[in-house]
Chain A
Amino acid sequence: AAGVIQSPRHLIKEKRETATLKCYPIPRHDTVYWYQQGPGQDPQFLISFYEKMQSDKGSIPDRFSAQQFSDYHSELNMSSLELGDSALYFCASSRQGSNEQYFGPGTRLTVT
């Protein structure tokens, strides 16, 4: 069965650079969630989208923005990167009416 796809899997950036992370949900899933998992930390919710509209927002810095496109894929844009942004970024998708979230493999972002 198709799973959630994230790209790139690894990304190395320098401080103050920008990064774009992409997420492709499972077919027919209309809801996308982004989570950030710092080293040794539990995943923290950043933002979610349902039918291309932002539906909820967590502890996401103003330097980050995200959107969901007409094909339901989502992109997380991160600007003015800081060392503390180094983390594993997970995307998850679900189908409306179901609370089961299916996670992608994550993008490991390293800021140097």
Chain B
Amino acid sequence: AQRVTQPEKLLSVFKGAPVELKCNYSYSGSPELFWYVQYSRQRLQLLLRHISRESIKGFTADLNKGETSFHLKKPFAQEEDSAMYYCALTSFSGNTGKLIFGQGTTLQVKP
């Protein structure tokens, strides 16, 4: 079964501390993985996709196929990083790929 698991509902850190939001997945085939962020009362925004291997707002994520993980990391958290973070994978059917989301992790960065 295709599934995304984010084990932490809430992660609370102090400003300047390192952050790691965990994501594990199960998928038969080659998955395409994403991190989406949802700031308070705003729309879901694409933060990262594993194919591009970019660093956005200081966040990085590496796909580890052996551990079936796609953890999101940032070396120094900022208060403006406080938001809900969703890990998602694309499940393909015909011409389109629906997103399967994890349960989400709320990141709270304290001053």
Contacts and interface: CB of A to CB of B under 8 A. Distances in A.
Given A55-B95, A56-B98, A103 B49 contact: no
Contacts of A96: 95
A90 B101 CA distance: 13
Contact of A56 (B86, B93, B103): B93
A45 B96 CA distance: 12
Size band of the interface chain B makes with A: 20 to 34
B interface majority secondary structure: strand
Interface in A42-70: 42-45, 48, 50-51, 55-56, 58
Contacts of B93: 55-56
A105 B97 CA distance: 20
Interface residues of A, number: 27
Contact of A45 (B44, B45, B100, B103): B100
A96 B97 CA distance: 10
A50 B95 CA distance: 7
Contacts of B36: 103
Contacts of A105: 42-43
A48 B46 CA distance: 19
Contacts of B32: 99
B98 A45 contact: yes
